[in-house]
Amino acid sequence: MANEVIVRIGKTANNYAAVVERLDGFICTANTFEELKKEVEAGIVFHIEGLKLDGDEVPAIFKAPYNLIYKWSIESLLWYYKGVLTLSALERITGINQTQLGHYAAGRSVPRKKQVEKIERSLHRLGNELSSVSF
């Protein structure tokens, strides 16, 4: 079974940003999430090659097969889905008012852990409901 490497997704003013846990100093940005995933994969290989060339220790997790697990910040996730999920729709499925969701999406405030869990549960519930649709 492959190790799981956590990639934290955030948002800058105009881009997505990624930090790879257990790989100190690694950060990259891209215009789209799809581009960011490619940058992360290539960047990890480049970073590890650099560690080896410099004689630095490569973290053990990268010495065996690994899978990248992307974990979003609320701000970056809401930005990614802004054309798909309106604040009105998010309010309906999460029970969190649109104004507060707008603050999260714009990065004006950071949700408490309980709010993050509520948003995550709501989106998972929606995904489960959609995956059971048949025609």
37 and 47 Cβ atoms separated by less than 8 Å: no
Return the number of other C-beta atoms located less than 10 Å from residue 75's C-beta: 20
Write out the two tokens for 108: 């004006």
Based on the fold, state whether residues 31 and 52 are members of the same structural domain. Answer: yes
- CATH code for the domain of 38: 3.30.2390.10
Based on the fold, state whether residues 116 and 97 are members of the same structural domain. Answer: yes
**pLDDT at 1 exceeding the cut of 80:** no
What is the DSSP-derived secondary structure letter of residue 22?
A: T
For 24, list phi and psi in degrees, rounded to 5.
Answer: -55, 135
Domain tally, the chain: 2
Q: What is the 3-state secondary structure (H, E, C) of 24-64?
A: CCCEEEECCHHHHHHHHHHHHHHHHHHHHHCCCCCCHHHHC
What is the DSSP-derived secondary structure letter of residue 2?
A: P
51 and 57 Cβ atoms separated by less than 8 Å: yes
73 and 6 Cβ atoms separated by less than 8 Å: no
Which residues form the domain of 54? 3-72
Based on the fold, state whether residues 7 and 58 are members of the same structural domain. Answer: yes
Based on the fold, state whether residues 55 and 82 are members of the same structural domain. Answer: no
Based on the fold, state whether residues 45 and 102 are members of the same structural domain. Answer: no
- Model confidence at 2, pLDDT cuts 50, 70, 90, reads confident
- CATH code for the domain of 119: 1.10.260
> Which of these three, 27, 49, 72, is where a domain ends?
72
Distance (Å, whole) CA 94 – CA 87: 10
Average per-residue pLDDT in the chain?
94
pTM: 0.86
Percentage of the residues of the chain whose pLDDT score is greater than 90 = 94
